[in-house]
């Protein structure tokens, strides 16, 4: 079984998230698809490049 690690580039705010329809708590901590996904076996090579 292959494991993957996601590096996300866009983050929202620190705080509570209830749902996207909640009047106050509707911004999730991670809200985007910017970044990349690597197989866990390749993370070390990527990090030291």
Contact 29, 14 (CB under 8 A): yes
pLDDT band at residue 20 under the 50/70/90 scheme: confident
Mean pLDDT of 24-32: 71
- CA 2, 8, 34, 19 dihedral sign is positive
Tell me the pTM: 0.47
User: Would you say 34 and 10 are in contact if contact means Cβ atoms under 8 Å apart?
Assistant: yes
pLDDT surpassing 80 at residue 48: yes
Nearest partner of 14 among 31, 33, 28, judged by Cα: 28
The token duo for 19 is: 């749902």
């Amino acid at each position: 079984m292959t494991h993957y690690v996601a590096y996300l580039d866009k983050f929202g705010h620190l705080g509570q998230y209830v749902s996207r329809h909640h009047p106050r708590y509707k911004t999730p901590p991670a809200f985007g698809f910017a970044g990349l996904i690597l197989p866990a076996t390749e993370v070390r090579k990527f990090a030291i490049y």
